[in-house]
Structure 1
Amino acid sequence: MRTPLAAAGLVALGVLLMANPLFLPVAVGEPDPAYTHTVQPVGEGSVAGIESPASDEVGESNTSDAVVAYDDLDPAARAAFDRARDAPEGGFGVEAPDERVDSLSYPTDPTLGDGLLIVERDGERYEFWTRTVEREPGAVVAQRVVLQPVAFLVGFLTIVAGAAVGLRGRLGAE
């Protein structure tokens, strides 16, 4: 009688451990935002799902209204644009809200005119992206990277152990 109960207990514990993504991670803090600035040349095709303003075939439509001359940018925005364009990765990020440029918006989901500007400088057009990236607290990341995979593996091994105990009890009874 104890063997089937032990096997069922091990299988139940294993299932609970394998289902850990349903109850982990527990939110342990507010998201930690970062503010990114990215610059890249406008390519052929589309910018954020909109026909590229770099194309002369577009004509003077509403996308041409989204093009901002480099000299028309606020001095702080020009400095951020230059820093992002000159960065080896094509951009940079800041941590503190007071390090953001006041004249730029930082949405979590940029759209043309709100977090995405087409900047024309020296005859070239660039996409200038500014956005807020919400990063999860370190404890949540640790839970997802370490705790969840380990709990899943231990749960799988516990189910295997429960099956082995159940089979051993069944085979020993015969």
Structure 2
Amino acid sequence: MRTPLAAVGLVALGVLLMANPLFLPVSVGEPNPAYTHTVQPVGEGSVAGIESPATGAANGSDAENDTNASDAVVAYADLAPDARAAFDRARDAPEGGFGVEDPDERVDSLSYPTEPTLGDGLLIVERDGERYEFWTRTVEREPGAVVAQRVFLQPVAFLVGFLAVVAGAAVGLRGRLAGE
């Protein structure tokens, strides 16, 4: 009588542990935002769809889109002084950008959306005859405890659950094979 009960208990425990993505991760805190500033030259693979002045206008677009693309270009001198400083800092950074975590360190004249679009988080800045994509965005990072749950706790719980199901099946089969 104990063997079938043990087998059912192990299988039930295993299924519960294997289903852990349904109830984990438990939110343990607010996302930790970071505010990024990135500058890269506008090129052929440009996300903004605008090429440098040397190669012409927008990538594979018609005349109407060319006009809209040229309207989206901002002269470096037209940027606010704090935006120019952020642009220069991002352009001169070895990684092509920098981030800040304190909301007070953001540049007031720039927007920081989570999904940048042309004109809102993405500016095409022309400086010294060169065009650059100037990205500003908010990146929401998860708290460390949630990351630990996803990287360590969930895989371990799934593995233990799988082993519990295998052990439950083995206990159940052992009892049948032994003739209990």
TM-score of the two chains, using structure 2 as the length reference? 0.90
- The question of whether the paired residues in 2 share the 8 Å contact of 1:40 and 1:85 is answered with yes
Give me the whole-angstrom Cα distance separating, in 1, the residues matched to 2:94 and 2:107. Answer: 21
Residue identity matched to 1:95: E
Give me the whole-angstrom Cα distance separating, in 2, the residues matched to 1:116 and 1:139. Answer: 32
- The question of whether the paired residues in 2 share the 8 Å contact of 1:67 and 1:117 is answered with yes
* Deviation for aligned residue 1:66: 0.8
Moved over 3 A (4+): 57-60
Q: Percent of aligned positions with the same letter in both sequences?
A: 85
Is 1:75 the equivalent of 2:73? Answer: no
Is 1:18 the equivalent of 2:18? Answer: yes
Q: Work out which of the residue numbers 42, 50, 53 in structure 2 matches 1:52.
A: 50
**For residue 41 of structure 1, what is the aligned residue in structure 2?**
41
TM-score of the two chains, using structure 1 as the length reference? 0.93
Give me the whole-angstrom Cα distance separating, in 2, the residues matched to 1:46 and 1:119. Answer: 13
Give me the whole-angstrom Cα distance separating, in 1, the residues matched to 2:142 and 2:46. Answer: 31
- The question of whether the paired residues in 1 share the 8 Å contact of 2:44 and 2:51 is answered with no
Q: Deviations over 1:36-70 (max 9, x none)?
A: 0011111115424xx32535244541111110111
Q: Work out which of the residue numbers 76, 90, 97 in structure 2 matches 1:91.
A: 97
**For residue 164 of structure 1, what is the aligned residue in structure 2?**
170
Residue identity matched to 2:122: L
Q: Work out which of the residue numbers 152, 157, 161 in structure 2 matches 1:151.
A: 157
Across the aligned residues of Structure 1 and Structure 2, the Cα RMSD in angstroms comes to: 1.4
